[in-house]
Amino acid sequence: MNVIKKLVGAMAVVAVLLAFSCCSETKPIKALVVSGQNNHNWQVSHKVLKLILDNSGMFQTDIVLTPAKGGDMNEFKPEFDKYDVVVLDYNGDRWSAETDSAFLQYVRNGGGVVVYHAADNAFADWDEFNRIIALGGWEGRNEKHGPYCYWENGELVLDETPGNGGSHGQQREYAMHCRNAEHPITKGLPDNWMHGKDEMYDSMRGPANIKDLLYSGKAEKETGGSGKEEPLVFTVDYGKARIFHIMLGHCGPTAEDNPAMQCAGFQTLLLRGAEWAATGKVTQSLPADFPTDKSISLRKEYTVVKKW
């Protein structure tokens, strides 16, 4: 066989392999971002969430917006069941009873949920929602909604002392501390890394049915925090559902002035948490620009290192 024939043969093999890899590619994960009311800049955050998800090449994301505050919630009827993961970016008027029960059915059937930042402020008096988020803040939350939950001496402490739920100090860059390096979401990520300028939620309360605490952070008293090590990223123990709760990501005034969401660490956790919530697995590797224990890493544009 001459050299040209060998080359042609090799190219044919490569072509077959490429065709195979193309056709056997996994389908995109279907995500739904729920937004439309928030005490935060939801007009920017919901679009940024979609950009982060879709730019990964793994997700195909739809957005559903509620009516404005005071509007007719009967018009808001998302088809949760069509999605692999629902990303909550919503803190506003209570949904209709029909939509409440459609959401509960989706979650109870083993649906995937991402609870993002102030979504854990929502629906303080909806008990079942509080069990879906495990911990929440503000909107009248206090000891009646559950204990204050923090991390101390290697374990979660449930503090029944009366008080309001939900607070944060000044926005700042802060260190993230891994508390479970074996979970699919955290596996292979550095134990400690610096997060871009953000709020750090503290004094959160609720049923505290945390399944796996993934990251905590120290809410320094000097910057107005609780002085405790606060649970910031975790999964929730709720039947068959896979729920990923990330308290990070306070949205800035514009997509480009938005360090908490531009943080490569935040984006990585969002993507890994959303993949896990949707499928139970994480197939993503550690991005080259992941922050270190010394320095933050912000992405100027919402494009990520593509694996797919």
Binding site for Zn ion (CB under 5 A): 199, 250
**DSSP 8-state secondary structure symbol assigned to residue 136:** B
Residue type, 66: T
Shortest Å distance, C-beta 40 to Zn ion: 5
**Is 87 in contact with 29 (CB distance < 8 Å)?**
no
Which residue type, as a one-letter code, is found at position 11? Answer: M
Sign of CA pseudo-dihedral 70, 71, 77, 80: negative
DSSP H helices in the chain: 3-23, 42-55, 97-108, 127-133, 259-262, 264-279
Maximal CA-CA distance, the chain = 84
Compute the least distance from the CB of residue 42 to Zn ion, in Å: 11
Q: Which residue is nearest to Zn ion (CB)?
A: 250
Shortest reach from residue 17's CB to Zn ion, in Å = 48
Min dist. Cβ of residue 117 to Zn ion (A): 6
Q: Which amino acid is at 147?
A: P
Tokens of 253: 């005034």
Minimum distance from residue 140 beta carbon to Zn ion (Å)? 18
- Cα distances from 113 to residues 31, 88, 124, in angstroms, run 9, 7, 18
